Structure 1
Amino acid sequence: MGDDDGDGNGADDAVVEDPDGDPVEEITLLSLAQGDAPARYEYGQMIQDNLEELGFEVEYDPKPINQYVESRQEDPFPWDMMVRRAGDGYEPAEAIFRRFFHSSNIGDGGSNMYGYENSEVDDLLAQQRGEMDPDARTEIIHDLQEILREDMPIVPLLIQERAMPFNSDKFQNPTVMLEDGIGCFWNFLNMEPTGDDAHLRTSMAEDLTTLNPLMLVNRGDREMIRLIYDRLMRVTPDIEVEPWAAESVEAVDDTTIEITLREGMTFHDGEPVTVDDVKFSYEYAEEESPEMASRLEVLDSIDVESDTELVFHLEQPSAPFFENALARILILPEHIWENVPEDVDAESAIDWDNPDAIGSGPFQVVSTDLGEELQLSAFEDHFNPPNVDRVTRAVIADMRAGIRAYEDGALDMLSWELPFDDISRFEQRDDTNLSRNLMTSIHHIGFNHRNTPFDDAETRNALAHAIPQEDIVDAIYGGTAQEIHNPMSSGFDTWYWNDVPQYDSNVSVAREKLAEAGYEWDTDGRIHQPPE
């Protein structure tokens, strides 16, 4: 299958009565609880079994989603390996490569929670950002994939085809989008009621923790926040970046972008949306939000030219700036946020839950109970008002509870993929259609590079063979997933480098590679570190 084939026999000589190296310390493998992500929970168990077959002691640590999210970034990091799906976005060099692997994102709240550092990767990430020629940029991104394959900071695993149900008796003509499916922004706008009941009741297998527009970290929060707040641009269902709150966006040259704001917009409290609000939003996000600041590193300054015109000046050319910043940063009402956190009960701007969120988007907040539900209503003064009158976002315990709520008629839509075992049952329902779409976020196994032996590339490459990739795709996902060997969705046809050397899912090969790296096993089968 790949260039790393082996028969595993070379490990036989590595079994010794008294190994020179210390036993490898117990591995903590972090994953999601079964109720939150049944498939990930199950294949985490498969990985645990393979690691234990290799002689590792493994503590499998599946957690409910809120605890899982906290544990991922808790310092000191209480895990060695992590089962994870992440990296959604339409600029994968930014959404995955830069977020996961750039050294600047290591640290408190940083998205490089793996602690991976490689100056060559940092340099290539900077080059691809500034390369405005698409073909030349693609070559750099292929070079990045080659280095990441050699270094194996994470083990890319698969991308899913997501199946999401909606009540076809009550709603019709859904808009489906790569990654988000019927949970995309456009579906909440465009889905049409079949009758007089225009109340859309939805949920997903993630809690609603905040309405803070500076904290677009959790998928469950993002899905609602993007309905409440506008952006200058948006990514369309065809994966094109087009003006939204901006009437027009024009790149005058590689570092100058002229923006004309749409006239007549108002916030939900009736105050007008102005160019000053836009300028404030970008400068405030850069100052107060580490997540947003990473998207604005190339922004030099913003000039207000008139009541509707702004000019963005970049420090250097940036190919991803349109999708990564103009289509991501949300427009805040300055008259509210200029006094945050001073006038609210929070230590910093990103700590405020913002329960009565006021934006200018197509939906406005009616009531908020972050632990129970969120009620939104259509903002009729919006330039693109939605077809539904109300949205209720219920908070459910886990995916199984969501499925029960849908089958009991309490929900009209689930914007989270059904477990494979449930799909056939939903296909047989007369009142339900299934939306199917490929994802951009990737399933992968992350290593904690701060801990021995995961700070060693040779060890990480060996362990890649212990991940039962084919079995996971076939047995757990029933073929509704695709193997990947790069940290990127293969749905990005041009950027995904098909020539990357693949790796076999073979525990015997993993054992031989570990032996080649100097690992030994005692007569009880316990693996020991290479001698110093």
Structure 2
Amino acid sequence: MKRLLAIGLALAMVAGIVPAVFAAGEEKVLTIGVDQEAIGLDPHIVTSFSSHRRVDLLYNKLVRHDENLKIVPDLAESWEIPDNQTYIFNLRKGVKFHDGTELTAQDVEFSLNRILDPKTASPGRSYISSIKSIEVLGPYKVKVTLSAPLASFLEGLASNNCAIVSKAAVEKYGNLQKVAVGTGAFMLKEWIPDNSMTLVKNPNYFEKGLPYLDKIIFRVIPEQASLLAGIKAGTLDMAQINDASTILLAKRDSNIVVMQKPGINVRTFGFNTTRKPFDDARVRQALSLAIDRNEIVTVAEFGMAQPTGPIPAGATQWALPLSKLPYYTPDYAKAKALLAEAGFPNGFTFKIVTANSFEGGLSVAQVIQNQLKKIGVNAELEVVEWGIYIDRWVKRDFDSMVELRGGSGEPDRFLYRTIHSTGGVNNFLFKDADVDRLLDKGRVLTTYAERKPVYDELQVVLAEKAPIIFLYCPFETHVLSKQVKGFKQVGYGSLYYLIQTQK
């Protein structure tokens, strides 16, 4: 009888139908379903959300965001700002990397220099490019001097792309895409590509008593309906579900917890501005005039998103109302006139690179495709596999692309890297003297009263130049079993608070 039971359990596990709580035995294991694989784990290099969500748990920064997006201590237990170009960070003592070595000021110095090195090609370089010098004042004290004031400096340091890595690990492995030697609450135990990733509790984590969980298992399940089915069956404890119709089904089930929060990530539709006809601002303006954000939110997101301009709509102290942005209200007659003026009276054909996942934005691209038909423009969808999508993104190999960009309530942190001519993720290859001037001016001013007019003007200029059509900010949604307690959402999707989660 015992043998039959063992065989039955083995078959059930292969079929994926054993509840996570049963399969975990005595360990406190949380199984989370995600719809796409991580594309590397090196915090200084990664760009995809799927990678960042793993990095959230494997590494730490000098400072981090709490659930209200406030800057709070992380590896730096405190800091001093004697003047607006000098920051002195006091590090926690006794923090250990996953290989058992102690984190010191030398690792901080090494990490910041690695991010700043153009050869690293780190998106984080744009956040901290104003660093003039880094001085180790002691084993646990680092002084950073800026070449000019940078209002968003601490915000930039709170990015995963500015995580602190082990100097010894980088010297040993070259890069950290397939390994993880961080200080985070969890350590990488196993990675089966396109299947699962297992993280285990870091017994030396610097926050005593944390994490509560012994193990976190990421399971890659591309279909959103299957993610919900996993929650219902108990094979998953948690899932990041983005498909609006699937979320609505989850909300109707009283046995499931749906956590939702207005987000600050931004859905965009952008162009390679070096390719014809997108090197002509009139063409980009025409396409902007054909876009109906409200229809996209209704059709692609079932209303679970907020239309936005260049600054995430949730950053209400900075974001202009869409009514004040040129080319952001649909006007098909004006769009056709601009196309004719640019030499395309009968429209033209181009391609939109997209992927069949939420981040890849296929459903959004389909709505845009239909909207552009109203002005005689034929958009062909290039639906590619996720790894190819990222490769095309990195190589700037596209006419246009639908993306989900990591947003921020701090305009410099979001827009400088995205659209400055030297920006680390300016995949649009856009160069404009007016935009650069405003971005350079906005980042060195230190008071809201000084900065607000600059970013107001910048939003109008970006709407006029239209290298990117900013669409909306999707809500952050997590679907959980009722057994999961203590998880908190962060507006840009971070899973950091899994370290305080219990099951």
- Class of the TM-score when normalised by the shorter of the 2 chains: 0.5 to 0.7
How many angstroms does 1:227 deviate by? 0.8
For 1:503 and 1:282, locate their aligned partners in 2 and report how far apart those are by CA, in whole Å: 39
Matching residue within 72, 80, 84 for 1:250: 80
How many angstroms does 1:464 deviate by? 1.4
Identify the residue that residue 461 of structure 1 maps to in structure 2.
285
**Which structure 1 segments of 5+ residues have no match?**
1-168, 171-194, 342-348
What code does the residue aligned with 1:470 have?
A: N
What code does the residue aligned with 1:415 have?
A: Q
For 1:323 and 1:207, locate their aligned partners in 2 and report how far apart those are by CA, in whole Å: 27
Contact kept in structure 2, 1:210 and 1:354, CA below 8 Å: yes
Contact kept in structure 2, 1:468 and 1:506, CA below 8 Å: no
For 2:334 and 2:258, locate their aligned partners in 1 and report how far apart those are by CA, in whole Å: 40
> Secondary structure at 1:264's aligned position in 2?
coil
> Secondary structure at 1:465's aligned position in 2?
helix
Superposed CA offset, 1:34-74 (max 9, x none):
xxxxxxxxxxxxxxxxxxxxxxxxxxxxxxxxxxxxxxxxx
For 2:329 and 2:60, locate their aligned partners in 1 and report how far apart those are by CA, in whole Å: 46
For 1:256 and 1:474, locate their aligned partners in 2 and report how far apart those are by CA, in whole Å: 47
Superposed CA offset, 1:423-478 (max 9, x none):
33212223211111112122222122122221111221112122232322233333
> Secondary structure at 1:393's aligned position in 2?
strand
Contact kept in structure 2, 1:209 and 1:370, CA below 8 Å: no
Identify the residue that residue 290 of structure 1 maps to in structure 2.
121
Matching residue within 86, 107, 110 for 1:277: 107
Identify the residue that residue 154 of structure 2 maps to in structure 1.
322
**Counterparts in 2 of 1:269 and 1:519: CA distance versus 1, 3 Å:** closer
The reply to whether residue 495 of structure 1 matches residue 318 of structure 2 is: yes
Equivalence map 1:411-450=2 (5 Å) = 411-417=236-242, 419-450=243-274
Identify the residue that residue 507 of structure 1 maps to in structure 2.
332
Identify the residue that residue 62 of structure 1 maps to in structure 2.
none
**Counterparts in 2 of 1:432 and 1:317: CA distance versus 1, 3 Å:** same
Equivalence map 1:129-168=2 (5 Å) = none
Superposed CA offset, 1:321-344 (max 9, x none):
111135541121222212342xxx
**Going by fraction, where is helix more abundant, 1 or 2?**
2
Select the structure with the greater relative contact order (CA < 8 A; seq sep ≥ 6).
1
How many angstroms does 1:518 deviate by? 5.2
Matching residue within 162, 169, 187 for 1:336: 169
The reply to whether residue 240 of structure 1 matches residue 73 of structure 2 is: no
Identify the residue that residue 452 of structure 1 maps to in structure 2.
276
The reply to whether residue 229 of structure 1 matches residue 59 of structure 2 is: yes
How many angstroms does 1:248 deviate by? 0.6
Identify the residue that residue 394 of structure 1 maps to in structure 2.
219
**Counterparts in 2 of 1:304 and 1:459: CA distance versus 1, 3 Å:** same
Contact kept in structure 1, 2:89 and 2:141, CA below 8 Å: yes
How many angstroms does 1:206 deviate by? 2.1
**Counterparts in 2 of 1:204 and 1:516: CA distance versus 1, 3 Å:** same
For 2:327 and 2:285, locate their aligned partners in 1 and report how far apart those are by CA, in whole Å: 11
How many angstroms does 1:509 deviate by? 4.1
Equivalence map 1:372-411=2 (5 Å) = 372-384=195-207, 385-411=210-236
How many angstroms does 1:319 deviate by? 0.9
For 2:376 and 2:149, locate their aligned partners in 1 and report how far apart those are by CA, in whole Å: 53
**Counterparts in 2 of 1:506 and 1:197: CA distance versus 1, 3 Å:** farther
What code does the residue aligned with 2:231 have?
A: Y
Equivalence map 1:212-227=2 (5 Å) = 212-227=42-57
**Counterparts in 2 of 1:271 and 1:335: CA distance versus 1, 3 Å:** same
Identical-residue share of aligned pairs (%): 25
Contact kept in structure 2, 1:201 and 1:392, CA below 8 Å: yes
Superposed CA offset, 1:196-217 (max 9, x none):
7631111222212222222230
**Which structure 2 segments of 5+ residues have no match?**
1-19, 348-374, 379-503
In the superposition, the TM-score normalised over structure 2's length comes to 0.59
> Secondary structure at 1:520's aligned position in 2?
coil
Contact kept in structure 2, 1:206 and 1:219, CA below 8 Å: no
**Counterparts in 2 of 1:365 and 1:477: CA distance versus 1, 3 Å:** closer
The reply to whether residue 361 of structure 1 matches residue 184 of structure 2 is: yes
**Counterparts in 2 of 1:371 and 1:421: CA distance versus 1, 3 Å:** closer
How many angstroms does 1:283 deviate by? 1.5
For 1:243 and 1:469, locate their aligned partners in 2 and report how far apart those are by CA, in whole Å: 38
In the alignment of these two chains, the number of paired residues is 322
Structural RMSD (CA): 2.6
**Counterparts in 2 of 1:429 and 1:259: CA distance versus 1, 3 Å:** same
What code does the residue aligned with 2:149 have?
A: P
For 2:35 and 2:248, locate their aligned partners in 1 and report how far apart those are by CA, in whole Å: 20
For 2:346 and 2:115, locate their aligned partners in 1 and report how far apart those are by CA, in whole Å: 52
Contact kept in structure 2, 1:241 and 1:327, CA below 8 Å: no
What code does the residue aligned with 2:240 have?
A: S
